[in-house]
Structure formats: structure tokens, C-alpha cells
Amino acid sequence: MQVVSEERLGQVLGALPGVPRVVTGGNFATPWQALAVLDAAVSDYRLFALNGQPGMPDREGVTLESAFVGPGMRGRERLMYYPCRLSLVPVLLSRTLPPDIVLVQTSVPHGGTVSLGTEVNILPAAIEAARARGGLVVAQVNPRVPVTYGDAVLSTEAIGYAIETDVPLASPSPRPVPEACASIGDRVAALVPDGATLQLGIGAVPDAVLAALTSRRGLMVWSEMFSDGVLTLDKAGALDPGHPITASFAFGSAELYDWMDRNQKIRMLRTETTNDPAMIALQPQMVSVNSALEVDLFAQANASRVHGIIYSGFGGQTDFVVGALHSAGGRAIIALPSWHPKADVSTVVPRIAGPVTSFQHSFFVSEQGTAAVWGHDSSSQAEQIITQIAHPGVRDELRAAGRELGFRV
């Protein structure tokens, strides 16, 4: 690893031939300074990131690529969305979208290694794919990055160039939990027994679920990501001290990052492991809790598109739904409010109009109630979705539409 100035790094990147594909850390671990150097030095390139946050380059010459669209890429004219399960994104990068440059943010070197800190995810696979074709790995070294273990540990020999920075890690803006989400959290928590293994996605509903689980004991975490809710469980004594918290990326408050630093209870693994449905199925009483934009009477969930336009993507939802259903005592739960306040529409529709993100779940949960889905015939599923999940104001029209679709409701 050669530590250079930003000016020198710009010269190296600007001398690269063609239109390179760049993979950068996403979520809240983007190496913004390194990305800015690249953007100033390279006129035309492709930029691949998962859940990219505001600030992603948006100009002529930059083609954005993602398998999970974040607010920094959402709605962009030059966005290319690749539908892909999170567990298979490493395969996508090795076979279809091979990177020429990988930008990562790391801890300071120690003993010939650095740590990827809060974001492991697809980065080890991207680094391997880039190095296999003679590509370049660039690190933004930051003493604020917590040292984490597992697949987060990266040899400095894998890094070509590095720049030194000292900037606080980004955190999501605090948000109040809506009353409907708090109610959903309580209902979902009632489905989580002591000793369960947890996976929760991103958003107000998963946060509310974790807040409602502080009285449980012996909980374990096997998830693609976690945030401050897991720290809350740890403080409450709800987690099994004999099992590491296993995840692939994390984001949250400065307190969370401090807690993660050199914490032997946390194991950060690459996506191919955390999101492998076979590995998920091995976790005891695996409870997968994810949100959706809408569900329908066929017990299908859409977490990807709004009015046919890509909003996010599959993420790891499909991986964990399948894995949880195969786990001993496992449950796959989709939790969502019955009404979308901004759009002022029901989140339960007769039939999802666009592509389906996931299907065959164990339960649907809204603030209205809980619908048991798995193991029931299709008409019983539809009836429960109408009476337990949908807003009362749309139940009659859903029932009428359900009959037209062939359900006995």
C-alpha cells in the first residue's frame, strides 16, 4: 500500500485507459474524498454502489450502476439498475460487471492489515475481481473507522494506493417512529420467541421491532446489516453472550461506531456468507423481518418499485425469506403500515402491477393485525390479508377485487 497525496492519486487515476468501472463502498461508508479525486481526474467512468447516499456524482460522463438503489442514485437519468439478489452481487461483479477500480474506506494500518470497518458487504468480492484482472484498489484511510473482524480484515498488500483523511463517519438522520410503526413493532415482537435468531432490514418498522424486543433473552443476530437497535438489545441483556453478532454492514450513530470498534462480539462477514440461504437456514429459529412498499392478495410483496420505476431493489429480502422458511422454527415476516401516508393510498392491493420482490412468507403484519400466510390455502391467505392487514376503508373493494381474481373471500 503506497500512501500518496490526493494530487498524486488523481494523476494515477487520470492515466488509466478507457472507461473504467469503479466499485465504491455504499450505504454510509462511501470514501467521499477518494471518490471526489476520481471524479475530478477521470472524465468518463461507470460507478457501481449499493444504497448510494446523496452526493454521488451526477454529470455527463458518469454512468451509475446498482443492484440496490439508494437516495443518491434514485431517479437519475443515467442510472442502470441490475436486478439481483444481494447474495449474488459478488457473482455479478466477477462475471458480468468486472471492476477496474475499487474505492474503500478503511481503518489505519496495523500489523500489515486494515479493517473495512462498518462496510464489508460486496467489497471483498469486488477487490478480488479487480485484482484478478490487474485492476486498482484505492483506500481512504480514516482513523475514525472502527476496527472490526472477520472478513473486514484486509491485507495492506491488496491495496495499491491510499490517501489519508480524518473525517467523522456518516450517520442516518434521526427520525421519530410513527405510531403505526410502533404498533407494528409490538405485533412483530409477539412472533419472536426467546432464543430466536434475528434479521431485520432497513427502516422505521425494523427499528420499532428491535425496540420492542428488549425483554427477550438469548437472542442472536445473523443479518445482512444492523444499526442502533442491536446496540439497544445488547445494553438490555437481550442478546446471547455466547454467539457473535454476525452481519455484513452496519450504519447508525457515533455511539454505535464506537461500540463496534475492536468489539470481539461482532463478526463482519462478506455477503456471500451472510446472505447465503443455506447458511441462513442453519440458524436456529431464524426470524426474518423485512418491509415492503405494497403487498397483494396473492401474498406477494413489492419492495422494489413505485409505479413501475425502480425505488430500491431486491436487496437481501429474497435471500432471508427463503433461508428463514428452511430454518428449524424459522419465520419470514413482512411488516408494513396498512396505509401509505405520503401517497395517501392503501399498501394492500389486489394484485401487484410490477415485478414481485418476494413471496411465500410466514406472516404479514400491519398496525391492523397479523395475517398467518404460510400453510393456508390461497383464499384463506387473501381473506386474512384483507381482514387483518388492510386498512378498513379499502376492505370492501379488496374483497370485490379478490372475487374477480378467483378467491373465495
Q: 161-164 and 153-155: which strand pairing?
A: unpaired
In terms of Cα–Cα distance, which of 212, 208, 231 is closest to 221? 231
In terms of Cα–Cα distance, which of 229, 165, 242 is closest to 192? 229
What cell numbers appear for 406 in the block? Answer: 378467483
Identify whether the C-beta of residue 355 lies closer than 8 Å to the C-beta of residue 305. yes
Distance CA(191)–CA(115), nearest Å, equals: 36
**For residue 286, how many other CB atoms are within 10 A of its CB?**
25
Residues sharing a CB contact under 8 Å with residue 117, sequence separation 6 or more, in sequence order: 29, 105, 106, 107, 145, 146, 147, 148, 152, 169, 260
Residues sharing a CB contact under 8 Å with residue 308, sequence separation 6 or more, in sequence order: 353, 354
Residues sharing a CB contact under 8 Å with residue 270, sequence separation 6 or more, in sequence order: 90, 120, 121, 122, 123, 124, 125, 151, 248
Helix (H) or strand (E) holding 268: strand 266-268
Identify whether the C-beta of residue 334 lies closer than 8 Å to the C-beta of residue 291. yes
Give SS3 for 191.
coil
Q: Is 157 in the active site?
A: no
Instruction: Write the single-letter amino acid at 58.
Output: D
266-268 β-sheet, strand order: 149-150, 266-268, 245-247
- Catalytic entry in 65, 119, 224, 367: 224
Distance CA(141)–CA(134), nearest Å, equals: 22
What cell numbers appear for 320 in the block? Answer: 432471508
DSSP secondary structure letters along 225-242 = EE-HHHHHHHHTT-B-TT
Distance CA(380)–CA(386), nearest Å, equals: 10
In terms of Cα–Cα distance, which of 307, 293, 299, 292 is closest to 402? 299
Helix (H) or strand (E) holding 47: strand 45-48
Catalytic residues, by residue number, are 224
